Amino acid sequence: MGKTEKEIMLEGGMYLPEDPELVAERNTARLLFQQYNTTTDNDSEQRQSILKQLLGSNAESVKIEPPFYCDYGYNILLGKNCFFNFDCVILDVCRVYIGDNLMAAPKVQIYTATHPLEATLRNSGRELGEEVKIGNNVWLGGGCIICPGVTIGDNTTIGAGSVVTRDIPSNVFAAGNPCKVIKTI
């Protein structure tokens, strides 16, 4: 028996996003983050319960200010003490590894989802993804976009509005479009 579309997706291969299993899992995630996004600061127990369902065991020490959006949730692997400010998006068709002590400012976007560059393949309806890895003690400034396949090293700060298209090493401040190292910290 061949691989499922979900298995192909998680491996970063060309998969069919309209596969019934994947559609159902995205719909489940949407229902959960829609519920989460209607909560208030007074609903901390409800928020924690929803995050546990959405992110699994990854949710124990994360704080996410609503609204928050993702594709599946279960592909977001969080370290301890992570904070996402308002209006963050994680397209997690592949794994997103996030270390301890992440600080994500408003409107941070982390994408594992991508499409083929060749139009014929792109028009086939199939997609693919690449894992994103973010180290410990990383600060992502407001409006950052982290592109598929990127690794960001430990103790790094990414400036507001940056588009991170390639790997960024540890212990640096990087910014711009495309994002590049400005200085060592």
Task: Just list the catalytic residues.
Answer: 115
CA distances from 31 to 14, 51, 101 (A): 26, 12, 27
Separation of first and last alpha carbons in the chain: 51
CA distance 127 to 144: 23
Whether 81 and 38 have beta carbons less than 8 Å apart is answered as no
User: For residue 83, what are its two tokens?
Assistant: 């904070």
The answer for 134, left when phi > 0, alpha when psi is -120 to 50, beta otherwise, is beta
Paired sense of beta strands 128-129 and 103-104, if any: unpaired
Cα(140)–Cα(149) distance, integer angstroms:
17
